Structure 1
Amino acid sequence: RLAATIRFPEHGESLGWRVIFGTGPQAEEPSASRHPSAVVEPGRVAHGPWAPAPRSGEPCWAELAAASADERWTSAVGWEMAEGAYTLEGRAVSGRRPVPETSPEAGEWTCCLATDDLSRTLDRVRDLGGTVLGEDPTNPLGRAVTVADPDGARYALVEQPGGWGGALAT
């Protein structure tokens, strides 16, 4: 279930996950929505609100850090903004976490991965040379912790989200 990739960053890009989204019914050409931290491919992808619940290790949510709703995603992909989440056909597709425009993470996507046992997974992150950056007590998905791999690529781990977007799915 291809949902995200890791690749060497191009000039000016940060190291990290590149989330893959499918186009919606009103979307423009996928090339119009290329972004350093996310890619849009034609058709539906095998994750998201239409897919089965994520298994441990699979993406369970993606969140854009942005000062406001990014027109790139609402116009190019056909999403709408509703209650802090981008939606398509009435289903939550991804989140938007408000940050100041001057924030170094503004415009970056965070890929959230499901885990059955967060404590055990965090131990494994440390064992493999990764860093635990901090827990997010306000995450609507449930218990979530942001981590970085040994090269600094950031992502989040979410314990037993139950489905794409956790409670946001309903």
Structure 2
Amino acid sequence: MSEDVPVKGLRRVELRSNDPAGSAEYYRSLFGWIVMSADDGTLRCWVGDRLAALIRRPADWETPGWHPVLGGRPTALLADPTGVTATLDPGRVRHGPWAPAPRHGEPCWLELMTADTTDDYWTRHLAWTVRADSDVKPFALYDAPDDTGARAIAGRLLVDTVTAANVGAGWMCYLAATDITLVTDTAVAGGATLLIEPREAPTGVIAAFADPYGTVCTLLEDPAGWGGAWS
């Protein structure tokens, strides 16, 4: 696919975990994922007929946590000047503004947290455009245009260097939750640390917790479409 054709969504997210089986069981208890082992040793987690996540051990050079796999381009690994990465993978886009509405446990939004503006890198490689939000100065939207008009495909939030060092810079993948309070309560009962109690945000009602393995999971309650309110 030509680089002037925009990437329009995710094929899946990867959860790179030092305990793939433990992570899979933990998130299965929260979202009801159907977990299946693949021949390559990865665990594939399904919501109905859509692959929501792939869980595997990180390679020596990879950072544990969520990693976006964007669809519609030849296979490649992108790394911006700050070291934030995303993978390109050819094939059908399962999650995004042109895909069906997210179901409970599916990816429903992407947000780049960064201490440095790397908009030029992502817009150049993914054929996205930047839309600044006047109400939230550090925040901007990445839009993916097509013949029907541009749609918000991801957010970008500038954070200070201290926050980036403590929380980490990179892509935050939101998962849809039909009842966000029930999911966060279940997560905490299973050993998670609640980082953000359910509260209103520009996308809708969000929450975040660190799972027992140290991965931060962000939730968006019952989004009507990709990005919740941004849809």
Q: Give the distance between the partners of 1:62 and 1:45, measured in 2 at CA.
A: 14
Instruction: Give the structure 2 partner of residue 118 of structure 1.
Output: 180
- Higher strand content, 1 or 2: 2
The range that moved more, 131-140 or 64-73, is 131-140
CA RMSD of aligned residues (A): 2.4
**Greater relative CO, 1 or 2 (CA 8 Å, sep 6+):** 1
Q: Does 1:141 align with 2:197?
A: no
Equivalent residues, number = 165
**Identity in percent:** 37
- Structure 1 length normalisation: TM-score? 0.84
Q: Give the distance between the partners of 1:37 and 1:121, measured in 2 at CA.
A: 28
Instruction: Give the structure 2 partner of residue 45 of structure 1.
Output: 93
Q: Give the distance between the partners of 1:79 and 1:30, measured in 2 at CA.
A: 18
Instruction: Give the structure 1 partner of residue 28 of structure 2.
Output: none
The range that moved more, 112-121 or 69-78, is 69-78
Q: Does 1:33 align with 2:82?
A: no
Q: Is this contact kept in 2: 1:16–1:37, CA < 8 A?
A: no
Pick from 158, 162, 165 the counterpart of residue 98 of structure 1.
158
Q: Which runs of 4+ in 1 moved over 4 A?
A: 34-37
Q: Give the distance between the partners of 2:179 and 2:225, measured in 1 at CA.
A: 16
Instruction: Give the structure 1 partner of residue 228 of structure 2.
Output: 166
Task: In structure 1, list runs of 5 or more residues that go unmatched.
Answer: none
Instruction: Give the structure 2 partner of residue 78 of structure 1.
Output: 127
Instruction: Give the structure 1 partner of residue 117 of structure 2.
Output: 68
The structure having more radius of gyration, on CA atoms, is: 2
- Structure 2 length normalisation: TM-score? 0.63
Name the CA shift for 1:152/1:106 in 2 (closer, same or farther; >3 Å). Answer: closer
Pick from 5, 13, 22 the counterpart of residue 4 of structure 1.
13
Q: Secondary structure at the match of 2:230?
A: helix
